[in-house]
Structure 1
Amino acid sequence: MKSIRVLPASLLIASFVAPAFAETGDAPRRLDPVVTTATPGAAPLADIPMSVSVIGTDALKLADAFLGAEDITDLLTGVDAAVANGTQVAFQIRGIGAVDHQALTPTAAAVYADGVYLATNVQTGLMLYDLERIEVLKGPQGTLYGRNASGGAINFITAKPGNDQTRYVRAGYGNFNRVDLGGAYGTALDNGFSYRLAGRYLARDAALDNTAGPEDAGGVRDEFGLRLGLRWENAGGGELLVRTHYEEDNGINAAPRNDSLDLGDHEIAVAGDGLQDTDNAFYGVSAEYSRPVGRWDLTSLTAFEGYAQQYGFDFDGAVALFGNPDFNANLAYDRSFRQYSQEIRLQTDWAGGHTLFGLSGSVDDFSQTYTIWCGVLDPQTLLGTCPYVGAGSRAGPTPVSPGTAMSLVTDINQSRTALAAFTYNEFDLTDRMTATLGLRVTDERIEGHGSGRHVFDDGTVGYNNVGGLGLAVGSNEIDETRLSGNAALSYDVGPGRAYASVSNSYKSGGFNGEVQNNVTHFTDEGLFDAESVTAYELGYKARPTDTLSWSLAAFWQDYDAPQARIFVNFPLPDGSSITSNSLSNLDAATVYGAEAEMTWQPADGLTLDAGLTVLDTAIDQTTNIGGNAAAFDGNPLPFAPDVSATLGGRYEVALTPGVDASLAVHAKYRGDYYLDPEGLDARMQAGFTTLQAEAAFQFADTGLGVTIWGRNLTDEDYALSGYGFIGYNTFRSDPRTFGVRLDYSF
């Protein structure tokens, strides 16, 4: 059993509030104060000593053309996403975040939907529809968001039932035969009850060009979602909000591209024997209840989240590497996940401050079967039509059969229990100076068990035993108790507010959930440890005027035991080798940088926004990993471009007394970044710029609107993520997409 008790001495805090995307009202247009719920109570961004960006109403109009949650990074500086296996998203905030595709790896940016934590990276690529706003917290969030928020937190907030709801239907069509349908309807009754039903359907043909096989290997979209909200404003002296959702993804995941192939932009080349339909279902329900209890406000959030998932793709990204048809690999996942959570908060205002106390708990269970084969799979015997190149090396020095090892099958089950107590406090030290102090204690217990097997052509099944170290079957458990939190001082200097802060959070350790090579997989040495980040920041936020909002911040982050996927070569029987990998820990890393954001309204109807993040990241490695420390020491962190910048604008005008028009354009530049921590030039994505735009026309008094939109108008082909297997494989971005959408609001 691996037992760790870590109580860091340092306290912590938030960073800095970045200005939000402008939201304008009726003429004359002004920049309205943006309100966020990133802290215990809703408050203007300018008054919160935390680093928060809010994607509000205007920016979400651009998001109507988005495919998934990862697309929001086009609107933010210092935030990127590594996307693998179709829709598994690992958000990177200010360079922090393990780039990993296995579902058991929590993301360093904690992702929430309406305040409910989404515990695996399978859920983080959620379908976007009927959103009110998106809040992005930069820097460690160890007090209110707890574990797995070492980089920050992202909260997707949907539209609530209530009075004056927007109701609409939408229908759109775009290139690659994209069909996009959506709508929302709700009403409020006199007794304080209201409801809202929203949904979206999205279908699209393959966007990548498969030059060597079936067209569908380029990725097919076929998904829908439904969400129902019920609200009682007079429920036992308080308010009850119940939300339930269900989404399905029935498309086909795009295959990766192998770097040994000479292909053009947005091209892949796979035979298609790994082509599989996706069968993903996501569902959940939550109940949020709030009421006053004396001078305190009580909030309870009870939630259930789950999914069932079956999918796969061509793993090697090629037809027959090096002319050998046995250098072929296809994989399939079969997963299920259930999570139950409960959080209770009590908070109050008092003379000179605010205090919150909270308790939270969650229980989750995960299971997965992971199968790799060569050629065409027989679903009954699990044999392919050729031997998977890695199966023989895993049979061990004394195979259990004289036959040929053909396929690999890995099972893993993991359960987790997490309990936490936390407090968040604000103290008015003087009329101008405010102190913030937060602490959280988290106790986490993780239990895992599983096995790794290979299937011979005579039907024999044996456990993997690479190196003869012992059969790949076992179990283990992890116990951790950790203290995290934040501390800050902010000072009102008249035209703005200056602050200094320190904050800390951690990301859980755990089990590697994919190929299990031998008995060491479940020993303490085969697990990956927790990582932690302590961040220090100085900043200044100008108090927003009617036309201008801006902020500056400088930060330094101490990154301890960064989790990283490490690639190791295993010998093959013929003297060659195959690359296997697992999630491990580097020694340390440092991140420092600066951010600036601005929103400016130079004239009525015209709003401009700009952002800039400058980063410097470096891995500090002295311990040998895979026999080599120098391969990592001094390298930048993956998905951490040294520069990211956004520039956008929206112009709204009345074309005629009956027709209003708007034009929005938003560009983002990302500098060079590496796809993994080894820092190899062959695994570097060169800098690029993406451009999004829309032109909309609203017809007064009819509720009708027409929008023409475009994404990636620069037609950039860039890597979404990568992994090593007989060369290097990368998942690719979509090419230029565009379409038209009709809206009717009522």
Structure 2
Amino acid sequence: MKDTNCLLTVAICLMGYASSSHAQAVSGSASGDTAPSVNSAQTQAQTETGDIVVTAQKRSERLNDVPVSITAVTSAQLAKQDIRGPADLEKIAPGFTYSASQYGTPVFAIRGIGTYDEAASAQSTVTVYTDQIPIVFARLTEGASLDVERVEVLKGPQGTLFGQNATAGAINYVLAKPTSELKAGVDATYGRFNQADFGGFISGPLTNSLRARLSFRHEYRDDYQESSTRSDTSGRRDFTTGRLLLDWSPTSRLQLELNVNGWRDRSDTQQSQARGYLPVNSAPPLTPATIATATALLAYPYLTVNSNRLADWDPGVSYRRDDWFYQVAGRLDYELADHLHLVALSSYLQSKLRLPIDADGTNVRALFVLQTAQLHSFSQEIRIEGDTGRLRYVVGGNYGHDYSNEVQYTEIHGSNAQIPVSATLVLPFDGDNELNKQVVRTLAVFGNLDFRVTDQLTVQGGVRYNDERRNFEGCLSDRADLPLGLRPIFPGITPGQCITTLPDGTLGLFRDTLKENNVSWRGSLNFKADANTLLYVGATKGYKAGSYGTIPALSYLQFKPVSQESVLQYEGGVKTQLLDRAVDVQAAVFYNDYRDKQTQGQILVPPFGNLPYLINVPKSRVYGAELNLTLKPIRGLRISGGVTYVNSKILGSVQVANPFNTDTVNAGGETLPLSPKFQGVVDAEYDFPVSAAVNAYLGGSTTSRSAAYSTIGSRKGPAGTGDEFKVDGYTLLDLRAGLEFGERYRVQVFGKNVTGKAYWNNVTHIYDTYSRITGFPATYGVSLSARL
């Protein structure tokens, strides 16, 4: 009772204040030991043997027994490398790439499979989960890494167990659970740009059967971006997140878990770096506003040097976002009989987003966008897990209901802010609203089985049937709060009215329904050559659902949705441990038959010109190989690294708009966008005792990727190279050194991108300029950690 009272007291204080090697290995999480549970007993037992344990197949297994390419990293290693969220996983998972979009939506890809979409409602080909519960919208994943036990990056389609929209893979954050004893911890970091981060957790029993864990983190940083044309700065970080976990075990067969979490982001939107003038409409400017804008953009001093800090934006405008998110999730585990479990996962999440965006990346007010969205999602999974000795199986079903309501408020003064009516009459306009509301209902049933033919040979198979109905409402509407809006070109409309032409010739809100179904499947043969060596070969089919884009559609015909994409992957691999586990090897080769890939291209939308638009690429292929090694050559030294080779190609003919003029180009034969051929990571750490009570360590890591192109159809530039849209390759170096005082205290100094490498991860063309989205400059600081 004393511990309970102490826990409650500290929890109240923390709530008042709040308004972490590749494995789950020997000692558990740096955040504190977790209590055994119905679904973690096997994990506990295997952890004590020193084996690597993952839940990639929704059950606890040794990593070397799972026929899937996986990167698993503990919370301790995540903390040492300062890996905060999904965007940082490039540092530990070769083959995974992150790119930022101009509107802030993250673009995740694995082995060249990814989807670029600026929409707030975008769903990635790499789905992010916390304890197997999906965060369906990519924009909402930034708080998933709070207080975790480990993260698992699963490569290749994961549709049979994790559902559709995981054609590239899945990221599963395994959360640190409530403990059976009172534990607490705090973490603090101070660094360059006045970075000041603070967080912590408290965990323990409330009663004999009820345990709780409360965690939070606040991240702050001053402006790091500088205007290239004046004395002005931007780029503040202001992010707060928290989570409450409750575990209740009323009986030995029943366990209930509750997860209540949320975050708020008041950071500045990242400013892009304009590199050149490229109007979306090639017609000559004819109105006072378009003439003035074109004149200013032609004379603008576009950057020619590489810099991570220089950018530009409209002066006198606040770019502070106002985004919030919360989620309530639950899990029920019930032991129906020996080796037979019922698992139920439920989740409801809600978010509201508000992002001001300078879409041209200059100090000229050519295009300003205020993106707003309301997002809701409910998911329910029920499954039964059984084990009869040689046969293990999972059968279950899913229901999902997702809602998104996005409005992009645009203020336009650039090349397409005019409508030529005749040779002598040109009508101006200064803005519009683009509406996109989607309601998605998803039903699925699935099954997965493992049959051990012999003690060495196992056959695995899985299948999922998925049925989806997507209802869409959207239009281009007048912006009533601007002097002109669209009213000069549509006389007689009421302020704010939809002006999209419908099938019957009237103007209004367009409604449509997209119905899709598919069957994902997986099969593999797995051979255990010995206790530490697995050979496997398999094939997997996965799907990502179709969707509707957010565009200024004058006609309902422009709202044609992209259809679902599919990936058929063939993979063979080996996992082994050598020299008494001093060497750990994972290697794989793969081939992906990629159909109807969804990506952002260009579409000619008269009279607006070339605009970003979601398209399907009918056929492409991706093949490659990867190798991951962990070496422990001497006591105290660990070297881990990996390299991935990806060769992608668009097959056949794909006609897309040419961003350099108003014709179309054939993108056939090009590589897939944002798909570097080579990626590599290396991390090394040497730890040694300083005294009986103090341990020291030195470490460093490198992250490398080769060049790629940001979009298809962009390589027919004036010089024929398309270098305007090239993302150069780069190598980043991080360093760290620290002291550990037993298992309770740690102090570390760190440097990230210590060479100050100027790099960018995307090139965008939203409006009359093309712009780079730059990486982060060199940073350094000190972090403190205490566990009580």
Contact conserved, 1:213 with 1:271, CA < 8 A, in 2?
no
Query: In the alignment, does 2:379 pair up with 1:341?
Result: yes
Does residue 253 in structure 1 map to residue 269 in structure 2?
A: yes
Q: Report the equivalent of 2:131.
A: 114
Letter aligned with residue 708 of structure 1: V
Match of 1:661 among 696, 699, 713: 696
Task: State the SS of the aligned residue for 1:528.
Answer: coil
CA contact under 8 A between 2:748 and 2:783: conserved in structure 1? yes
Cα deviations by residue, 1:647-669 (Å, 9 ceiling, x for unpaired):
11121111122321122211111
Select between 423-432 and 185-194 the one with higher mean Cα deviation. Answer: 185-194
Partner of 2:169: 152
Q: Which amino acid aligns with 1:721?
A: N
Residue 551 in structure 1 maps to residue 586 in structure 2: yes
Matching of residue 280 in structure 1 with residue 297 in structure 2: no
Aligned residue in 2 for 1:368:
406
2:755 paired with 1:714: yes
1:293: Cα distance to partner?
0.8
Q: Deviations over 1:551-599 (max 9, x none)?
A: 2111100000111111235566xxxx74312101012110000111111
Within the candidate set 722, 730, 739, 2:772 is matched to 730
Quote the Cα distance in structure 2 between the aligned partners of 1:62 and 1:137.
Answer: 22
Query: 2:628 maps to which residue?
Result: 597
SS in 1 for 2:77: helix
CA distance in 2, matches of 1:220, 1:240: 40
- Cα distance change, pair 521–470 in 1 and its aligned pair in 2 (3 A): farther
Shift of 1:402: 9.1
Task: Please list the CA deviations of residues 653-700 of structure 1 after superposition, one character each: whole Å capped at 9, or x if unmatched.
Answer: 111223211222111110111111234322111111112222121234
Structure 1 counterpart of 2:244: 228
User: What is the distance in 2 between the residues matched to 1:478 and 1:300?
Assistant: 29
The Cα of 1:87 is off from its aligned counterpart by 4.7
**Which range is displaced more, 417-426 or 541-550?**
541-550
Query: Partner of 1:240 in structure 2?
Result: 256
- The aligned length equals 694
Verify: 1:411 aligned to 2:435, yes or no: yes
Alignment RMSD (CA, Å): 2.7
Provide structure 2 residue ranges, at least 5 long, that are not aligned to the other structure. 1-20, 29-46, 277-301, 488-494, 716-721
On the 8 A contact 2:475/2:500 being kept in 1, the answer is no
Tell me the residue number matched to 2:668. Answer: 633
TM-score when normalising by structure 2: 0.83
Question: Contact 2:25/2:53 (CA < 8 Å) preserved in 1?
Answer: no
Q: After the TM superposition, which of the residue ranges 582-591 and 490-499 deviates more from structure 2?
A: 490-499
2:350 is equivalent to residue 306 of structure 1: yes
Specify the alignment match of 1:5 in structure 2.
none
- Superposed counterparts of 1:2-13, under 5 Å: none
Distance 1:464 1:319 in 2: 31
Q: Contact 1:239/1:291 (CA < 8 Å) preserved in 2?
A: yes
Q: 1 CA distance for matches of 2:148 and 2:75?
A: 9
Amino acid at match of 2:694: V
Q: Partners in 2 of 1:669 and 1:21 — Cα distance?
A: 22
1:413, distance to aligned residue in structure 2 (A): 1.3
Seen in structure 2, the aligned counterparts of structure 1 residues 257 and 174 have a Cα distance that, compared at 3 Å, is same
SS in 2 for 1:125: helix
C-alpha contact (below 8 Å) 1:472/1:521 kept by paired residues: no
Shift of 1:730: 2.2
1:181 is aligned to 198
Q: Is the 8 A contact 1:227 1:243 kept in 2?
A: yes
Change beyond 3 A, Cα 1:35–1:127: closer
The offset of 1:237, in angstroms, is 3.9
How much has 1:369 moved relative to structure 2? 1.3
Partner of 1:193: 210
Structure 1 CA distance for aligned equivalents of residues 552 and 22 of structure 2: 43
Partner of 2:66: 48
User: Counterpart amino acid of 1:712?
Assistant: N
In structure 2, do the counterparts of structure 1 residues 196 and 433 end up closer, same or farther at CA, with 3 Å as the change threshold?
A: same
Opposite residue 20 of structure 1, the aligned amino acid is H
Residues 299-350 of structure 1 show CA distances to partners (whole Å, capped at 9, x for unaligned) of: 1111111111111121100123xxxx6xx11111111111111111101111
Out of 445, 458, 476, the position equivalent to 2:512 is 476
Contact kept in structure 2, 1:333 and 1:369, CA below 8 Å: yes
The sequence identity of aligned pairs, in percent, is 24
Could you tell me how far apart the structure 1 residues matched to 2:595 and 2:513 are? 22
- Separation in structure 1 between the aligned mates of residue 460 and residue 779 of structure 2, nearest angstrom: 46
Which residue identity is paired with 1:234? P
Q: Structure 1 residues 31, 239: closer, same or farther in 2, change over 3 A?
A: closer
Are 1:621 and 1:630, in contact at CA under 8 Å, matched by a contact in 2? no
Q: Secondary structure of 2:159's match? A: coil
> CA-to-partner distance for each residue in 1:39-86, whole Å, 9 max, x for gaps?
1310001011112111224421235x3453201212110110122247
- Cα gap change, 1:500/1:236 in structure 2, threshold over 3 Å: closer, same or farther? closer
Aligned-partner SS, 1:176 = helix
Does 1:352 find its partner at 2:390? yes
Query: 1:541 and 2:575 equivalent?
Result: yes
CA distance in structure 1 between the aligned counterparts of 2:754 and 2:55, rounded to whole angstroms: 34
Greater mean deviation of Cα atoms: 44-53 or 185-194: 185-194
